[in-house]
Each structure stands twice: as structure tokens, then as C-alpha cells.
Amino acid sequence: MAENGSAPSVSLLVPVYNVERYLAECLDSVVAQTFGDFEVVCVNDGSTDGSRDIIERYLADPRFRVIDKANSGYGASMNRGLREARGKYVAILESDDFMEPGALERLVGVAEDAGAQVVKARFWFYWSAPAPRNEPYRFYGDVTCGRPFCPMDDEAIFHEKPSIWSALYRRDFLEANDIRFLETPGASYQDASFNFKAWACADRVVVLDEEFVHYRQDNEASSVNSPAKVYCVCDEYAEMEAFARRLPARRDALRGILTRMRYDSYVWNIERLSLDLGRQFVFRMAEDFAPLVEDDVAMARLEPWRAERARAVVRNPLLFFAQQTCRDDWSFVRKMRHYLRVGGPSLLVGAVRERLR
């Protein structure tokens, strides 16, 4: 533990907004850490429930402190926490999640041994009801694990779930590269651009094939469950593009990486939304991809099938949407009804013509 007012090894940022149901479990998991040289910066974003009272119980521990601020959203809260952080490293723990006792000890140990700017681990998807259940997150691609690498030389990590709360960051690395959060009030998915910025700037990272954080799935207030925030993902990608333009040596490669990331994220957004909202969003997807499909640099990282699907959404947004939301196990009749519901008889005719191309 830091002594005589010296800076701690780790600043753990905990953004808090109306999470009284889960907050004690989160903060208890921090107290239980086997690594003690940390500070906890709880950023209370104008909570209106009992969250602030729960934080108060932990302030007797000198490692805990609280920043009370008017409600202005996740990005603003995280940036305030980054400005207040004093540690050599920065970690993040969402206030409805919790971590294993050895999490910080392991992450710091790897960072020190490897001289890493970022150490990233896997995590568990966690459900508390009807009975506690964990399912480990598995990497989608062939991510290098256990040894240092540069993300620009091994791009698979760009296409994994952001999960910025299962990582440890050198604070001087974040500051030197101006890696911060987008502060759009009321927005969501603001971990996406932060995560991209870290990979875009890093030269030395280590990924661990281990889990330390329990990522809660049954919090109905979570932003991932909010259909109201239909276009927030678009704002994040605009932020990523602007950031990439500031890195001339890596700009072209990042443009290609971003196109694939954007395609996957937009498709994910379509599939999580209701039929009506998804149908609205697909036209924004077509608008955003129209210039990209004509840009060889932007399309360079897309496999042939993704490239064709990107062109398909520009060519006929509603047909793309109907295809994307039509399940393989549906009967022929049910599929036809789905096409009619999405776009009427003209879309059904278009689908038949597409099949005959």
C-alpha cells in the first residue's frame, strides 16, 4: 500500500449511477483484493438512489475516495476519473460487476514483468438469477496470448469485445496519446472508442487467456439493453475515425480495421433492436457504408463475404435487413411472411431476384 502520500500503483475507477442493488458486491470485491497498493475512485454521476450512501460506508478505508458530480453521462464520468487518477496504472470496474480477489495482483504482475502499456484479460458473462451462473468469454479470433505484441502487427484484438474493465492501462500511456472517452450526454457504447484508441496507439500489450471479472448480464438498466440509444454506436465510430486521422503512420491500416469493426458493430446493433428500430437503423448503415464500399483502402481488411454484405446494404437496405433478421431454421412460408412484413411485396420480389442473380 502507498505510504506517506505517495502515489498508488493502481487507480481503480468505478463509475456509479443508480446501482444500489449491485454496488456493495462490486466494492466488496475490491476490498478483497490480494494486491493492496491501489486507490478506488468512485465517480458518482448524480445518483438518485442509495448508491451514494453505500459508497460512504467504504470511505473509512483511506484507499477509497468519491467524486460527486451532476449527472452528465458515462463518458464525462470516466474522463473525470482519469483526470483525478494518481496511480502508475489505471483499471476500470463497472459498478454492477465484480472481480476475483487476485485480479489486480495478476494484472500488475504481468504489466511489470512485460513492460506492457496494456494488459488485457478475458472475463465471465455472469447471471445472478435464478441461480448464480458464469460463462467464460471466448475470443472470436486467433488472439495472441501470454506474450507481448503490437496490435498493428496482430490485428485480431481489434475485433474482440471492448471489455475495457478487464484490462490494466499505463496511465502515462493514456495521457501521452490523449486517450479519453467521448462525452456525448446520454450516449452508450463509449467503451468502444476508448478501446480502439488504446489498440491504435499501443506498441506493447499482453493478452491473458484468463478470467478475472464477472460481467453482469441481468441488469435491466444496463445501456446494452436500451433500444432508445439506436444511433450511439455511429457516434463512437465517428470518434474513432477522427482519432485515426491523427495517426498518419497508421491511418490507412486503421481505416481498413475500422471498416470491418463498423460492419460487425452495425450488424450487432440491428440484431439487438426491435424490428421497427432495426429497420430505421439499416438506412443509417447504408448511408455510412456508401462511401466506404467505393474506397479500396477502407475495404482492404474485409473478407470477400463481408465486403459483399457491405455492398448489399448500400444496394438495398431493406433487403439486407430482412436477410439479416431472418433465421435459418424458419420455414419457407415464415421467411416469406418476414420479407412481406419488412418491406411489402416489392421487397419479396427483390429477394427472389437477388436469389436468381
Instruction: Provide the CATH number for the domain around residue 96.
Output: 3.90.550.10
**Hey, CA dihedral for 111, 114, 117, 122, is it positive or negative?**
negative
* 220 and 239 fall within a common domain: no
The residues near 74 (Cβ < 8 Å, ≥ 6 apart) are: 15, 17, 45, 181, 187, 188, 190, 223
List residues bridging with 13 in a β-sheet.
41, 92
C-alpha dihedral (140, 209, 149, 144), degrees to nearest 10 = -40
Looking at residue 331, its pLDDT comes to 77
* 193 and 237 fall within a common domain: no
Q: 34: exposed, middle or buried (C-beta count within 10 Å: 0-12, 13-18, 19+)?
A: exposed
Tell me, yes or no, whether 321 lies in a domain.
yes
* 33 and 180 fall within a common domain: yes
In terms of DSSP bridges, do strands 133-136 and 118-127 run parallel, antiparallel, or are they unpaired? antiparallel
Tell me, yes or no, whether 309 lies in a domain.
yes
Cis omega (within 30 of 0) for bond into 101: no
**pLDDT in 10s for each residue of the chain, 357 residues:** 555 568 999 999 999 999 999 999 999 999 999 999 999 999 999 999 999 999 999 999 999 999 999 999 999 999 999 999 999 999 999 999 999 999 999 999 999 999 999 999 999 999 998 999 999 999 988 999 999 999 999 999 999 999 999 999 999 999 999 999 999 776 677 899 999 999 999 999 999 999 999 999 986 655 444 566 789 899 999 999 999 999 999 999 999 999 999 999 999 999 888 888 999 999 999 999 999 999 999 999 999 999 999 999 999 999 999 999 887 777 766 776 776 777 777 776 766 676 656
* 51 and 198 fall within a common domain: yes
How many other C-beta atoms can be found within 10 angstroms of the C-beta atom of residue 234? 19
How many structural domains does the chain have? 2
Looking at residue 340, its pLDDT comes to 76
Tell me, yes or no, whether 1 lies in a domain.
no
Tell me, yes or no, whether 63 lies in a domain.
yes
Quote the CA–CA distance of 218 and 206 in Å, as a whole number.
Answer: 30
* 243 and 270 fall within a common domain: yes
* 32 and 145 fall within a common domain: yes
* 105 and 22 fall within a common domain: yes
* 243 and 288 fall within a common domain: yes
Tell me, yes or no, whether 4 lies in a domain.
no
Quote the CA–CA distance of 145 and 308 in Å, as a whole number.
Answer: 32
- Among 9, 324, 6, 350, CA closest to 169: 9
Tell me, yes or no, whether 5 lies in a domain.
no
Tell me, yes or no, whether 105 lies in a domain.
yes
Helix residue ranges, H only, 85-170? 103-114
Looking at residue 220, its pLDDT comes to 62
The residues near 305 (Cβ < 8 Å, ≥ 6 apart) are: none
Write out the three cell numbers for 171: 496511465
* 176 and 251 fall within a common domain: no
Task: Among 225, 244, 272, identify where a domain stops.
Answer: 225
Task: Among 225, 260, 284, identify where a domain stops.
Answer: 225
- What is the model's pTM? 0.91
Tell me, yes or no, whether 275 lies in a domain.
yes
* 245 and 313 fall within a common domain: yes
The residues near 318 (Cβ < 8 Å, ≥ 6 apart) are: 279, 282, 342, 343, 347, 350
Looking at residue 186, its pLDDT comes to 64
- Among 63, 75, 55, CA closest to 11: 63
* 182 and 116 fall within a common domain: yes
* 130 and 96 fall within a common domain: yes
Task: Among 225, 253, 287, identify where a domain stops.
Answer: 225
Write out the three cell numbers for 75: 463518458
Q: Which structural domain, as residue segments, surrounds residue 324?
A: 232-356
- Among 271, 253, 262, CA closest to 289: 262
List residues bridging with 170 in a β-sheet.
89
